[in-house]
Structure 1
Amino acid sequence: MNIKDLQYYKKLYQEKRYTKVANFFHVSQPAITAAIQRLEKELGTQLIIRDQSHHEIRFTESGRQFERHATQMLKELDIARQEIQALKMEKVSIGLPPIIGNYYFPAISSMLAKENLLQNMNVYEDGSQSLFFKLLTGKMDMALLGAIHPIEDEHVTSHLLARKKFKIIVSPQHSLATRKSVAFQELKDEPFIQLSDHFIHPLAFEGLSKKTRTHPPVIYRTNDIQIIKGMVVIAENVGISFFTEIAVPEYAPVIALSLADPGQPEFLISLAYRSNHILTPLQQKLVDVLTKQEQRINGS
């Protein structure tokens, strides 16, 4: 089956016009027609119904089904090309969300350097959801992802590396600052300064709100953690916030309170890569080092 024929077919399915497809690929219209005829002959079925009177084309049931397979075949081919190119470079491309990149990754970087892995890594920063999509489409080899539920996807192999709590963040001058913990229901009237939907924190916050039937007002959202910390500390009494504990080191100017609620959400850090991806020796070494490191930390 000709790869170009698949590309022509996919584009024709999108555009529904032979002339548009021919112009896009800079070929003649008869070349597109011939490609479709080759596919129909090879598959032994009609893919397209041609309505000459209205200059339109419609796809048969077989044609619609084949489009899905053509799209998947082209996707897998693209991933294969990217993976082979990565093998030539002898590098590991890895995705890091902002919080994991800023607060978790530095803690393990010395260990990665010791194992001669750090210099062989190409790091890409983005939100966990964006990185997950890029991982599936072969844009990177693996990723450290944040989530509030274990990753369950047949296309992805994941290793849970860490479980972290969420904390309530207040100013040292706040009335709650002397507390060690607080129940979420106690915060029903507290204004929150929150991370945006680019992060998983809003999902955890929403889940906690529904579970406790408590809906504190969210007065401001931003992608910048430092802005939130600054607003909580400097702009006294403006609001409080909600972070995973790894984003609040002990030397931070804010006060982190534990949540007293049972069954509260957790910030899960997982190493993930595509299930059908054959790990190179370098990639396998990275997986082994990260999983063994967490086993040592957790005492298992």
Structure 2
Amino acid sequence: MNTRDLAYFAALTKVKNFSQVAHQFGVTQPTITMALKRLEAHFGIQLIDRDQSHGQVTVTPAGVVLASHVRVITAELAAAEAELARARSGKIRFGLPPIIGNFYFPTLAPRLMQAGLIDQLDTVEAGSQNLLADLRAGHLDGALLGSTGPLNAPALTVQPLRQVPFTIVVAPDHPLAAQTHVSFADLQDEPFVTLAEGFVHTKAFDWFTHTAGIQPSVVYRTQDVGLLKHMVQAKVGIALLAEMAVQPADHLHTLTLDDPGQPTFDIALVTSKTLQQTPAFTQLLTILTPPSAD
């Protein structure tokens, strides 16, 4: 079976027009017609009902079934092509969310340098949710991802690495800086600066607001963790951050959250189950994965 025929068929089920599909792929209309005939002959069933008198194209029930499988097949083929292209280049395309990339990954950098792997890493920085989508699409070889609690990704290999609590961050001269603990419900009237959508912190913030039954004002959203901390220093608002993201040099005050059952910021090493690992990638996984306690 020709995978090109499947691509033509998938497009035909969407636009329902032979000439438009032919134009999309830069081929003649008979090419699309012959591709459809080959598929129908292969499966022994009509996939497209073409009304010549009215120029209408209808996808048959069998065609709908095939189209759903074709979407999966084409996605897997695209992922395979991307993985093989990276294997040829020798580069490891690796995802790092900003907080993990800035405050956790650097602790591993000396060992990566010693192993000669730093130059082979092609890092991609984005929120964990966006990087997870890239992993599923085959655009990445692996990633260090954050999640609220253990990450559930059945199609991927997930190796838990570390759990970090969330904390409230305020300026050192903020009235809350006199405290060491706080309940999220007590922050109803506090303006917040938060990380943008696509970050695990957004889910954690939603959990705290929902559980506490409050909806504090969010005055600013950003994808830049450094900018967020500067906004806290300037007392534009307070913030919810993973504890590891706050360093002594930031000159910020952190408060422990007293809310029971609260989520943690979990770090996991995530890779594709189908990835053909190169020696360099295997070495990278060995460095990133802590030795078993057994």
Q: TM-score with structure 1 length normalisation? A: 0.92
Counterpart mapping for 1:246-261 below 5 A? 246-261=244-259
1:43 is displaced (CA, Å) by 0.7
CA distance in 1, matches of 2:228, 2:131: 24
Shift of 1:15: 1.2
Deviation at 1:265, TM superposition (A): 1.2
Bigger Cα displacement from structure 2, 274-283 vs 23-32:
274-283
Task: Compute the displacement of 1:20 (Å).
Answer: 0.4
The residue type equivalent to 2:48 in the other structure is I
**Residue by residue, what CA displacement relative to the aligned partner does 1:202-235 show, whole Å, maximum 9, x if unpaired?**
210111122222332222222222222222222x
Name the CA distance, whole Å, in 1 between partners of 2:243 and 2:148: 14
SS in 2 for 1:292: coil
Amino-acid identity (%): 38
More displaced stretch, 158-167 vs 80-89: 80-89
Tell me which residue corresponds to 2:281: 283
Partner of 1:125: 125
Contact 1:145 1:272 in 2 (8 A): yes
Q: Does structure 2 retain, via aligned residues, the 8 Å contact 1:154–1:275?
A: no
Judged with a 3 Å threshold, the aligned counterparts in structure 2 of structure 1 residues 123 and 33 are, in CA distance, closer, same or farther, namely same
Distance in 1, matches of 2:71 and 2:161, equals: 34
CA distance in 1, matches of 2:61, 2:279: 44
5+ residue gaps, structure 1, are none
Partner of 1:146: 146
How far apart, CA to CA, are the structure 1 residues paired with 2:7 and 2:249? 56
Residue pair 1:190, 1:239 contacting (<8 A) in 2 also: yes
* Residues 94-113 of structure 1, C-alpha deviations (whole Å, 9 max, x = no match): 01112211222112111221
Residues matched between the structures, number: 294
* Letter paired with 2:60: T
What residue number does 1:270 align with?
268
1:128-171 Cα distance to aligned partner (Å, 9 max, x none): 12111111111111111111132222211111111111110111
Moved over 6 A (4+): none
* 1:1-300 matched pairs, under 5 angstroms: 1-234=1-234, 236=235, 238-292=236-290
The one-character-per-residue Cα deviations of 1:171-222 (angstroms, maximum 9, x if unpaired) are: 1111121322212122122111112213121210111122222332222222
User: Residue 56 of structure 1: CA displacement?
Assistant: 1.0
Residue by residue, what CA displacement relative to the aligned partner does 1:64-86 show, whole Å, maximum 9, x if unpaired? 11112222222222222222222
Root mean square deviation of aligned Cα: 1.7
